[in-house]
Structure 1
Amino acid sequence: MMSLSGGPEASAQIAGMIFAVLLLDGDDRIVESNSAAEEMLGRSSNRLVGMHLFDAIGVEDDRMRIGLASNESRIIARGITIGTVFGDRRVNFTSSPMPSHPGWRVVTLSDVGQPENSDDEERVELRAPAVLAHEIKNPLAAIRGASQLLERRVEGRDRPLAKMISSEVDRIAQLIDRMQQLGAKPIEVTGPCNLHEAVRNAMATVRAGRNDGCELVEEFDPSLPPVAAQQGALEQVLINLIANACDASRDLENPQVTVRTRYVSGLVFNAIRFGKATRLPIEITVTDSGPGIDPSLRDHVFEPFVSSKPQGQGLGLALVRKLLRDMGGRISHERDERAGVTHFRINLPVAG
């Protein structure tokens, strides 16, 4: 590749890419890797060089392994699962043969995360619950008023029935309030937020509201800078995720949920809504050892009215995604079957 005088050479261009790049020789051994590959695979370039591709990334899909056996084939695969030292990750994968060097190829890997809707799609998706909530609230208020009047007039065994009507109306009203939150205007980021203060406040709230013995474990990086977030909204997000993780672990002998924070230097999220690429290096991971979400629902867990809980309403994670999008962040879900754990990962920008 030629470059204009004074421009970066090809090696510098590859080093600056935000997705992982691996150069493989004819024996599928890694010859070169960039910093994004180090970050994704959890190994330094010195350790990656010389490794076979399948030793660096675990590929369980038989079709992928067969396709990769032919190093002359061009491969594009979206949303495949690979194994890394951090556990399983869903990635987009490409393999490109090099005509100038038969048998050699370039492999790229990029995080799938959760698919982001366009602005128009997102507005329609979140507006529908709010419109429905508005239409339901008026008749609901009339039903509640009638039930209260009925409760005062009836006697004996009919009074509990009137009370049940009133309590069920209250329960539905709470559900309606949550639906309206999905369609609410975006929250404003009020300034730098102390990440660990928000996490500890959320953990304290969950501990105070439960008596099932679920242990909450901190694995914090104390050197992390403040994040660009609204602290109340971030705490609401974390309370929801930690409580869900505790619910998922409730049938285990020693239930435990781990909350981990770290700096991920290579992660960049293309936030089209903001008109520029936004770096999201601050990561919060909530991990539990429960059975995980039903595989048929895993690609839809952040959509409204999707829930794996018997009595779930499917609004909690949809609201979590909305709040994080409002703050310029993102959330993703991963299931590591080999380790038997579920991860919910939040990524946020640094303040200022």
Structure 2
Amino acid sequence: MSVKPEAGRSDIARFDPSRPDARDQLSGLLFALVLIDPTSAIAEVNHAAENLLGRSAKRLVGKPLLEAIGPLDPRVENRLTNTDEALVARDILINASEAEKRVNLTVSPLGGFQGWRVVTFSEIGHEETGSDDDLGSSLGAPSILAHEIKNPLAAIRGAGQLAARKLPLKDKKLARMITDEVDRIARLIDRMQQLGSRTAEVAEACNPHEAIRSAIATVRAAGGAKPVEIKEEFDPSIPPAYANRDALEQVLINLISNARDAACSGARGEITVRTRFVSGLAFSAIRLGRAVRLPVEITVSDNGPGIDPAMRDHVFEPFVSSKQSGQGLGLALVRKLVRDMNGSISHERDAKRGLTHFRLHLPLAKTPQE
């Protein structure tokens, strides 16, 4: 008895226990997916939607969609009332767990199921919008010229030091100003070289809490204009992350220092550094053509006034800064170091609670079997 090849393949696919079913496929999607019923209430969400909206499926299912993500642009809300109409809306704001996020939204009616629709969200304005090539092209020329610039700078610094020894006391201040400015320019060039570098530091198993505590100690030792309380809220069960310890500590120093500067502007500055293992809510990013699970989350929050809304989508770009004396390289360096570790960094503002969050996601350390 012969079997048609088509039927054979179909039967094998249907009964193959290793084949992921529809629910598994939806759970593994990198973008957020929400199923809504004919009343526009949420019927089901995937893991990415839980992560994006900051709530578990248990808290989301049964809620009207607009209650979970609204209010939206009135034009979008009006289109959502038509249960038979497809919709694509780009670059709109939604409210996710009391924090605004900028997303692209699609709505797809399900043929044969009157009123049922699938809604997808893909977050934009995120560090993932930039590429390593973009960063390299914007900083490649300064990186190449850095060596040639540093040579005359060293000569100028030496001349300034020599002049300081020979000048009268009242003029020594000018000589010190020369050496101080040369040192400042040299530090700027060093940071530009770091940003333009294509070489990533070696990653290995790293205890994130040790890196956080070292970074906090460094920031505290540096002091600030006003005292700021730094609180730790750690999940003790977090396993080791796959990261470069020195690079991770540098990232945290930059984030916590920025948070301290922002929090200093208020009456009572407060910073919270929080860790958690997001497990099923794991963030996913695309690296080298494959999905990377990033379940180790570190969040640095401050109660400062937040970043100017006009700059929020550009905070990780080089030479963008809200500080008067800022060079705009700190967060660009953070992005570069995090990407080198196959991690992800994002920013959000919780206007209702008056908090700014920078969220860092890292992969788990590899096991011997991997």
With normalisation by structure 2, the TM-score equals 0.86
Q: Paired residue for 2:194? A: 181
Q: Paired residue for 1:346? A: 360
* Cα 1:129/1:60, change in 2 over 3 Å: farther
Task: Give the residue type in structure 1 aligned to 2:33.
Answer: V
Q: In structure 2, which of residues 329, 334, 344 is the aligned counterpart of residue 320 of structure 1?
A: 334
The Cα offsets for residues 126-185 of structure 1, whole Å up to 9 and x where unpaired, read as: 423312433321222232233333334433544432332222222222222222222234
* Cα 1:42/1:311, change in 2 over 3 Å: closer
Q: Paired residue for 1:5? A: 14
Task: Give the residue type in structure 1 aligned to 2:88.
Answer: I
Deviation of 1:283 after TM superposition, in Å, equals: 0.9
Equivalent-residue separation in structure 2 for 1:43 and 1:165 (angstroms): 55
With 235-244 and 130-139 compared, the bigger mean Cα shift is at: 130-139
The Cα offsets for residues 289-335 of structure 1, whole Å up to 9 and x where unpaired, read as: 11111122212111111110011111111111111111111111111
* Cα 1:58/1:220, change in 2 over 3 Å: farther
For the pair 1:109 / 2:121, whether they are aligned, the reply is yes
Task: Give the residue type in structure 2 aligned to 1:332.
Answer: S
Task: Give the residue type in structure 2 aligned to 1:341.
Answer: L
Deviation of 1:42 after TM superposition, in Å, equals: 4.2
Equivalent-residue separation in structure 2 for 1:169 and 1:119 (angstroms): 29
* Cα 1:110/1:149, change in 2 over 3 Å: same
Q: Paired residue for 2:109? A: 97
Equivalent-residue separation in structure 2 for 1:296 and 1:313 (angstroms): 18
Aligned partners of 1:18 and 1:266 also within 8 Å: no
Aligned partners of 2:304 and 2:356 also within 8 Å: yes
Equivalent-residue separation in structure 1 for 2:134 and 2:181 (angstroms): 33
Task: Give the residue type in structure 2 aligned to 1:233.
Answer: A
Equivalent-residue separation in structure 2 for 1:39 and 1:168 (angstroms): 46
Q: Paired residue for 1:143? A: 156
Equivalent-residue separation in structure 2 for 1:324 and 1:119 (angstroms): 11
With 94-103 and 41-50 compared, the bigger mean Cα shift is at: 41-50
Q: In structure 1, which of residues 28, 33, 36 is the aligned counterpart of residue 48 of structure 2?
A: 36
Task: Give the residue type in structure 2 aligned to 1:309.
Answer: K
Task: Give the residue type in structure 2 aligned to 1:161.
Answer: L
Runs of 4+ residues over 6 Å off in structure 1: none
Q: Paired residue for 2:77? A: 65
Equivalent-residue separation in structure 1 for 2:330 and 2:208 (angstroms): 21
Q: Paired residue for 2:281? A: 266
Q: Paired residue for 2:255? A: 241
Aligned-partner SS, 2:50: helix
Query: Percentage identity across aligned positions?
Result: 55
Deviation of 1:236 after TM superposition, in Å, equals: 0.8
For the pair 1:252 / 2:261, whether they are aligned, the reply is no
With 221-230 and 107-116 compared, the bigger mean Cα shift is at: 107-116
Equivalent-residue separation in structure 2 for 1:190 and 1:13 (angstroms): 30
With normalisation by structure 1, the TM-score equals 0.90
Q: Paired residue for 1:232? A: 246
Equivalent-residue separation in structure 2 for 1:119 and 1:42 (angstroms): 28
Equivalent-residue separation in structure 2 for 1:200 and 1:169 (angstroms): 32
* Cα 1:183/1:18, change in 2 over 3 Å: closer
Aligned partners of 1:252 and 1:290 also within 8 Å: yes
Deviation of 1:110 after TM superposition, in Å, equals: 3.4
The 5 A counterparts of 1:122-137 are: 122-137=135-150
Equivalent-residue separation in structure 2 for 1:138 and 1:227 (angstroms): 40
* Cα 1:232/1:56, change in 2 over 3 Å: same
Deviation of 1:65 after TM superposition, in Å, equals: 2.0
Task: Give the residue type in structure 2 aligned to 1:66.
Answer: N
With 226-235 and 8-17 compared, the bigger mean Cα shift is at: 8-17
Equivalent-residue separation in structure 2 for 1:306 and 1:277 (angstroms): 29
Structure 2 unmatched runs, 5+: 1-9
For the pair 1:120 / 2:138, whether they are aligned, the reply is no
Equivalent-residue separation in structure 2 for 1:161 and 1:118 (angstroms): 43
Deviation of 1:14 after TM superposition, in Å, equals: 2.5
Q: Paired residue for 2:92? A: 80
